Amino acid sequence: MLETQLEIMRKPRITILKTLEEFTLDQLNTIPAGFNNNIIWNLGHMVAAQQGVCYKRAGLDTRVDEAFFNRYKSESKPEGPADEQEYELIKTLFMTSLDQLGEDYKAGIFGNYTTWTTRYGFSMSTIDDALAFLPFHEGLHIGYIMAMRKLV
């Protein structure tokens, strides 16, 4: 079950990174009219959201730098353009964070998960609930990215 859940997130992540290969850093940093963030922020947010939904809600530290988490967490906005180094970090974390999540799940570190309800009305009380929710959340942000790529 875990491997299936991770693949449901991994495959779209690989596809979106391939789709974005043709874009310049300036395009990825552009905030299109009608949006309050950009493509790079959405990628970083998907990593930060996974960290918050899985690790923070289980009372654990994130597996990413706290400054990175704060830059891309919910309710944040781009603080300025991301440079090439930041973009490379996001692309790396985009894939390695899923591998780390799988390892941590297998190690059983998510036993202290706190029940909470998302802004979309999903109530989660276990890491398995979180793993079921994440593909929905990521689908929303991939949709934003797909819309933005036509405007940049």
Over 90: is that where the pLDDT of 3 sits?
no
Model confidence pLDDT, tens digit, residues 21-49: 999 999 999 999 999 999 999 999 999 99
Three-state DSSP class for 148? helix
Mean pLDDT of 80-86: 96
Over 90: is that where the pLDDT of 2 sits?
no
First to last CA, the chain: 38
Three-state DSSP class for 124? strand
Superfamily of domain 2-149: dinb family like domain (1.20.120.450)
Average pLDDT, the chain: 95
- Whole-number percent of the chain with pLDDT over 90: 93
Model confidence pLDDT, tens digit, residues 86-102: 999 999 999 999 999 99
**Gap between the Cα atoms of 38 and 54, Å rounded:** 24
Which tokens go with 8?
């449901």
Domain boundaries, the chain: 2-149
- Using a cut of 0.85, tell me whether the model's pTM lies above it: yes
Query: Do residues 55 and 63 touch, judged by C-beta distance below 8 A?
Result: yes
Residue 151's pLDDT band (cuts 50, 70, 90): very high
**Gap between the Cα atoms of 25 and 39, Å rounded:** 10
